[in-house]
């Protein structure tokens, strides 16, 4: 594959991308069964599935109602008209689809409420939402909650708000969704609204062996919520096996013998929302100090087109780009093997053919640039680089973001390998890493802070502030990293307490 060429997607990748564009990931039947047992335990007369998909919730609900001997009318909707045929081919009877409607559930919901709702919402990340549609969603949420969620909320967040609004008094909702719904930047306001108006009965989390979507890089949760007076405690369930019957019995209020398929703990909302609903109750050391007391955090540089702006030294030399327009940079977390990144490491990456030079033209007009650089810029224009989403907002288009070289880097998305890295290579990171800027510049202070940050107890606290993904991966955003608790005894042992900045309200860890 040549530089700048488009990678050909396999058939499997194309199918996966098509699903992602619609946000469609089908609920396994074994999960749908225990979700149905929760919402149907009061023998309701009607049920809504607001994102019908293959119709698994209709199938298991019809079966549950038949076994219990009560009448149940099924209502459904979906924005995709093709799902009617999909559901029928999957076994949903035509009679059960008579109340199915093609509609946008969030912006054009049914006029009535429902005593039972089962939902697997479309999981569409915020950057895939058209701007006008995203603005309409945020306005809907603002009217519902009194405050618009952060712009990084995905469609599944707005779907949850609408499903809760669609619950009849006493009605039950079972909602399977990514764990980021209680870990993202929007989560605090969302869960304050939910837990002040609705009762969280239970949350079902899944061990790796029981993951409902093993091919998708996310952690799933099932939220069991009732339109009833809120309570401060709920049942937290960790599912170890794909065995629905014990969970059906538990979630429908039946008495049953202890099961090895799952474990249950009673948790307080404040603790669980601070720790994360997908995680076990926290035993981490919170301490009195936060990383933000000693440093500020920024994301790495977003080039908008790494193929054009991020080069090897050999390629830059071939193009005739002078060193004065190049900056040392690192573009992949895996390009840093240990917890120190040195000039020798940077040189080794060059020998391996990895790009390490960021093309950065700032403060120069075109007439000040050498002819080879102008030629290269024109080649970028011919390739359409200025039209790319991020780049077209820049004036001129080739203007690059700048960062002071951070003494400490943070690998913010990793599987059991999130770590703080001492940056001795005089390199700036791209968006694969976060920049940590200590509030004091002395090398001694930086080393002492890095020592505290690298301690296993500090690393363990990352779960208090990060978002979890499949395979035990953690992602921590800049503001969240500033809220990372540092064990007090480690801070005192390194003598850092005298350098702590006055605590800002934005750095407090709050629970909904």
- Whose tokens are 């007076």? That residue is 229
Q: How confident is the model at residue 15 (pLDDT cuts 50, 70, 90)?
A: very low
Burial label for 113, CB within 10 Å (0-12, 13-18, 19+), is: middle
Out of 53-67, 78-92, 182-196, 407-421, which region has the weakest mean confidence (pLDDT)? 407-421
Confidence tier at 287 by pLDDT (50, 70, 90): low
- pLDDT on residue 511: 33
439 has pLDDT over 70: yes
Q: How much is the pTM?
A: 0.70
Find the mean pLDDT for residues 154-164: 94
pLDDT band at 502 (very low <50, low <70, confident <90, very high): confident
What distance in Å separates the CA atoms of residue 136 and residue 132, rounded to the nearest whole number? 6
The model's pLDDT over 57-73, given as tens digits with 9 standing for 90+, comes to 999 999 999 999 999 99
Return the half-sphere exposure (C-beta side, CA atoms, 13 A cut-off) of residue 417: 10
At 311, the pLDDT band (50, 70, 90 cuts) reads very high
Among residues 211, 272, 282, 276, the alpha carbon closest in space to that of 240 is found at 211
Say yes or no to pLDDT of 197 above 90: yes
| Mean pLDDT, residues 185-204 taken together | 91
Q: Which residue has the tokens 């390009």?
A: 335
pLDDT band at 1 (very low <50, low <70, confident <90, very high): very low
Q: Which residues contact 377 (CB under 8 A, 6 or more apart)?
A: 366, 369, 398
Q: What mean pLDDT comes out for the span 270-294? A: 78
Query: Per-residue DSSP letters for 397-455?
Result: TT-----PPPSEEEE-EEES--EEEEEES--EEBTTSEEEEESS--HHHHHHHHHHHHS
pLDDT at residue 282, as a whole number: 66
What average pLDDT does range 462-467 have in this prediction? 79
Say if strands 167-178 and 114-119 run parallel, antiparallel, or are unpaired.
parallel
Buried b (16+ CB within 10 A) or exposed e, 398-413: bebbebebbbbbbbbb
pLDDT digits (tens, 9 = 90+) for 314-344: 999 999 999 999 999 999 998 998 899 999 9
Helix residue spans in 227-275 (DSSP H): 244-251, 269-275
pLDDT recorded at residue 274: 75
Q: How far is CA 75 from the centre of its chain?
A: 30
| Portion of the chain with pLDDT greater than 70, in percent | 88
Q: What is the pLDDT of residue 499?
A: 87
User: 133-146, pLDDT tens digit by residue?
Assistant: 999 999 999 999 99
pLDDT band per the 50, 70, 90 thresholds, residue 124:
confident
Task: Return the domain boundaries, the chain.
Answer: 19-275, 290-507
Average pLDDT over residues 294-322: 96
Check residue 255 and give its pLDDT.
67
Distance CA 122, CA 53 (A): 9
pLDDT number for residue 10: 43
Q: What is the pLDDT of residue 13?
A: 45
Predicted pLDDT at 501: 84
Query: Is the omega angle on the peptide bond into residue 396 within 30 degrees of 0, that is, cis?
Result: yes
Higher-pLDDT residue of 218, 408: 408
Q: pLDDT at residue 7 above 90?
A: no
End-to-end CA distance of the chain: 49
State the pLDDT confidence band at 4, using cuts at 50, 70 and 90: very low
pLDDT at 465: 81
Exposed, middle or buried: residue 443 (CB in 10 Å: 0-12, 13-18, 19+)?
A: exposed
Cβ-contact 208, 416 below 8 angstroms: no
Q: What average pLDDT does this structure show over 186-204?
A: 92
Tell me what the pLDDT averaged over the chain comes to: 87
Residue 241 has pLDDT above 80, yes or no: yes
- CATH-assigned architecture of domain 19-275: 3-Layer(aba) Sandwich (3.40)
In whole angstroms, give the CA distance from residue 108 to residue 113: 13
Give the CB-side neighbour count of residue 58, counting CA atoms within 13 A. Answer: 28
pLDDT digits (tens, 9 = 90+) for 338-383: 899 999 999 999 999 999 999 998 878 888 899 999 999 999 999 9
> Looking at residues 9-34, what average pLDDT do you find?
63
């Amino acid at each position: 594959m040549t530089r700048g060429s488009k990678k050909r997607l396999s058939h499997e990748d194309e199918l996966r991308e098509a699903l992602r564009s619609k946000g469609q990931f089908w609920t396994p039947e074994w999960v749908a069964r225990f979700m149905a047992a929760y919402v149907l335990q009061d023998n309701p007369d009607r049920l809504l599935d607001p994102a019908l998909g293959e119709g698994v919730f209709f199938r298991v609900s019809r079966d549950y109602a038949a076994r219990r001997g009560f009448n149940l009318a099924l209502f459904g909707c979906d924005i995709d008209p093709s799902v009617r045929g999909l559901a029928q081919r999957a076994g949903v009877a035509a009679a059960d689809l008579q109340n199915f409607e093609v509609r946008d559930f969030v912006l054009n919901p049914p006029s009535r409420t429902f005593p039972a709702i089962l939902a697997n919402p479309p999981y569409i990340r915020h950057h895939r939402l058209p701007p006008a549609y995203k603005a309409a969603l945020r306005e809907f949420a603002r009217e519902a909650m009194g405050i618009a969620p952060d712009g990084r909320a995905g469609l599944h967040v707005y779907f949850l708000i609408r499903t809760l609004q669609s619950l009849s008094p006493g009605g039950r909702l079972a909602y399977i969704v990514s764990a980021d719904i209680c870990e993202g930047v929007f989560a605090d306001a969302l869960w304050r609204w939910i837990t002040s108006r609705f009762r969280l009965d239970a949350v079902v989390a899944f061990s790796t062996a029981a993951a409902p979507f093993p091919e998708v890089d996310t952690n799933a949760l099932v939220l069991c919520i009732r339109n009833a007076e809120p309570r401060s405690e709920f049942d937290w369930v960790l599912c170890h096996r794909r065995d629905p019957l014990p969970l059906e019995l538990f979630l429908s209020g039946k008495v049953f013998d202890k099961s090895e398929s799952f474990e249950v703990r009673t948790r307080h909302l404040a603790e669980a929302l601070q720790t994360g609903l997908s995680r076990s109750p926290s035993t981490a050391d919170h301490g009195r100090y936060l990383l933000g007391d000693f440093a500020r955090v920024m994301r790495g540089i977003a080039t908008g087109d790494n193929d054009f702006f991020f080069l090897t030294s050999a390629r830059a030399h071939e193009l005739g780009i002078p060193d004065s327009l190049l900056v040392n940079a690192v573009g992949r977390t895996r390009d840093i093997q240990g917890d120190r990144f040195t000039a020798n490491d940077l040189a080794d990456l060059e020998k391996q053919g990895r790009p390490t030079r960021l093309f950065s033209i700032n403060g120069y007009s075109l007439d000040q640039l050498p002819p080879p650089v102008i030629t290269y810029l024109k080649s970028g224009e011919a390739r359409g680089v200025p039209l790319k989403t991020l780049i077209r907002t820049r004036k001129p288009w080739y203007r690059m973001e700048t960062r002071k070289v951070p003494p400490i880097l943070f690998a913010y998305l990793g599987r059991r390998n999130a770590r703080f890295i001492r940056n001795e290579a005089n390199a700036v990171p791209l968006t694969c890493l976060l920049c940590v800027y200590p509030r004091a510049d002395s090398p001694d202070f930086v080393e002492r802070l890095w020592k505290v940050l690298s301690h296993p107890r500090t690393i363990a606290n990352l779960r208090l502030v990060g978002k979890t993904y499949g395979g035990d991966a953690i992602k921590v955003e800049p503001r969240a990293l500033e809220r990372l608790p540092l064990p007090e005894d480690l801070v005192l042992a390194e003598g850092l307490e005298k350098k702590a900045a006055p605590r800002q309200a934005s750095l407090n860890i709050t629970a909904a």
